[in-house]
Amino acid sequence: MTAPEFLPFTRPSIDEATIAGVAEVLRSGWITTGPMVRDFENALSQCFGGRLVRSLNSGTAALEIGLRIAGVGPGHEVITTPLSWVATSNVILSVGARPVFVDVDPVTHNIDLERIEAAITPATRALMPVFLAGLPVDMERLYTIANKHHLRVVEDAAQAFGSRWQGQRIGAIGDLVAFSFQANKNLTCAEGGALVLAAEPEALLCEKYRLQGVTRSADGEMECDVLGGKSNLTDVAARIALGQLPSLEAVIERRKALARRYFSLWDRSLDCQMPVEDFANSNWHMFQVVLPERVKRPQFIARMREAGIGIGVHYPPIHLFALYRNLGFREGQFPHAERIGRQIASLPLFPAMADSDVDRVCAAASKAFS
């Protein structure tokens, strides 16, 4: 009897029509930023009710440029969560500011909004919430705090493309909203991102920041008046994303169906903390469980791998990395994030999975615990 195929925790799905479309772009002679990027930005704008959108080569670039547009720089502070991919706080350091971490809500795993106001100082310039695994924070509460203290919000919606808040898509509301289209997202262009902006001057500034600060006049004359970088998206990448955009809602519905199956089949006697059952707002980018303290996560991952199943870790708490310890952060400051970060495990979840794959994961997890 042959062993079943290895089941990774995620896998992108690129259809043949998209592959053919990429080949057309490669044959066109225009493979960097051009007509496909413009089409992609227009399509994203339609997704967000006509808001201004500029594409970038990563979600990290979207966050960093969002901070710059918000006026964040040296001497400033940005409040964010310690439970995220490290890029969330690295970009704060990149613009010369200091991250101020606030512990997470033990149920949602997102930043605890009730703790934010106590962390605000005269140096605070922005809030950067993260929608972990695609689950948004309470947007009304978030923006009530931001408006009360005259703060910008740079939403780290890297995992939340297609998520909603009270019926509206994340990105269609709010201030500056950064998305990622990296390979494990429900819309991917291999590597890429986008920033939703509040006003035309900010969109023009984003264009400068993404390409060396340069602007060109109609007669070809160039000017450079800000320090920009190299963060533009290619037409090749944009074509990959455009091929997937029409199936976005179907992808999310499939993710929801798989999540519901996990909820129905997972052995609750294993004493894991399950994710919030939010099928109205979350896009179910990931299905994460928090293992009980009696279970050593490395052993669980090893046993699942022996069963041919990949498990992800999203994420170790940022403040315990050496870079941040050197800035003065220490263990014990954010106990909820530390406990969750120590025990969280991302189960396989991607649209191409079969129902039987969920069954297999649940059965293997029960065996791994025993």
Whether 274 and 168 share a structural domain: no
157-215 per-position pLDDT tens digit: 999 999 999 999 999 999 999 999 999 999 999 999 999 999 999 999 999 999 999 99
Whether 263 and 221 share a structural domain: no
Residue 110 has pLDDT above 80, yes or no: yes
**In this structure, what CATH number is given to the domain that contains residue 127?**
3.40.640.10
Q: Does the residue 8 lie in any domain?
A: no
Q: Does the residue 5 lie in any domain?
A: no
Whether 82 and 228 share a structural domain: yes
The number of distinct structural domains making up the chain is 2
* Residue 88 pLDDT grade (very low, low, confident, very high; cuts 50, 70, 90): very high
Whether 60 and 41 share a structural domain: yes
Whether 252 and 240 share a structural domain: no
pTM over 0.85: yes
Alpha helices in the chain (DSSP H): 16-28, 35-47, 59-69, 87-94, 116-119, 139-148, 200-210, 235-244, 248-265, 297-306, 322-325, 335-343, 355-369
Whether 174 and 291 share a structural domain: no
Q: What is the dihedral of CA 131, 87, 62, 83, to 10 degrees?
A: 10
Q: Does the residue 302 lie in any domain?
A: yes
Whether 144 and 83 share a structural domain: yes
Whether 251 and 216 share a structural domain: no
Check residue 220 and give its pLDDT: 85
Could you say which of 192, 219, 244 is where a domain stops? 244
Query: Average pLDDT over the chain, rounded to whole?
Result: 97
286-304 per-position pLDDT tens digit: 999 999 999 999 999 999 9
Could you say which of 191, 220, 244 is where a domain stops? 244
Q: Which residues, in sequence order, are CB contacts of 47 under 8 Å at separation 6+?
A: 169, 171, 172, 245
Question: Averaged over 9-14, what is the pLDDT?
Answer: 94
56-74 per-position pLDDT tens digit: 999 999 999 999 999 999 9
Could you say which of 202, 225, 244 is where a domain stops? 244
**In this structure, what CATH number is given to the domain that contains residue 360?**
3.90.1150.10
* Residue 1 pLDDT grade (very low, low, confident, very high; cuts 50, 70, 90): low
Whether 136 and 124 share a structural domain: yes
Q: Does the residue 257 lie in any domain?
A: yes
* Residue 3 pLDDT grade (very low, low, confident, very high; cuts 50, 70, 90): confident
Q: Does the residue 7 lie in any domain?
A: no
What are 53's strand-pairing partners?
Answer: 196
Q: Does the residue 1 lie in any domain?
A: no
Q: Does the residue 10 lie in any domain?
A: no
Whether 238 and 356 share a structural domain: no
Q: Which residues, in sequence order, are CB contacts of 90 under 8 Å at separation 6+?
A: 60
Which are the catalytic amino acids? 185
Task: Map tokens 């772009």 to a residue.
Answer: 25
State the residue range of the domain holding 355.
247-369
Q: Does the residue 300 lie in any domain?
A: yes
Whether 79 and 143 share a structural domain: yes
Check residue 218 and give its pLDDT: 87
Whether 168 and 140 share a structural domain: yes
Q: 145 by DSSP, 3-state: which? A: helix
